[in-house]
Amino acid sequence: MPTRTKLDIDAVFAKLPLFEGLSTAEIARLTQDMREIRLDKGQTLFNKGDECNGFHLLLVGQIKLAFVSPDGYEKVVEVIRPNQTFGEALMFMEKPYVVYSQALADSWILYFPKAVVFAELERDPKLARKMLAGLSKRLHQLVSDVEDYSFHSGKQRIIGYLLREPTDEETGNVRTVKLSIGKNVIASRLNMTQEHFSRILHELADSGLLNVRGREIHIPDVEKLRRYEG
CA dihedral of residues 150, 155, 161, 164 (deg, nearest 10):
-110
Measured CA to CA, the distance from residue 118 to residue 176 in angstroms comes to 43
Residues of the chain with CATH 1.10.10.10: 154-227
Reported confidence tier of residue 168, pLDDT bands at 50, 70, 90? low
* pLDDT (tens digit per residue) in 1-36: 444 456 677 777 777 777 777 777 888 888 889 999
Between 11-20, 126-135, 154-163, the lowest mean confidence (pLDDT) is in 11-20
> pTM of the predicted model, to two decimals?
0.80
Task: Report the alpha-carbon distance of residue 208 to residue 35 in Å, rounded.
Answer: 49
Instruction: State the pLDDT at residue 87.
Output: 92
What percentage of the chain exceeds 70 in pLDDT? 93
pLDDT at res. 3: 47
Residues of the chain within CATH 2.60.120.10 domain(s) are 9-151
- 9-151 folds as Jelly Rolls (2.60.120)
**Cα–Cα distance, 46 to 99 (Å, whole number):** 8
Fold adopted by 154-227: Arc Repressor Mutant, subunit A (1.10.10)
Lowest mean pLDDT among 8-12, 207-211, 219-223: 8-12
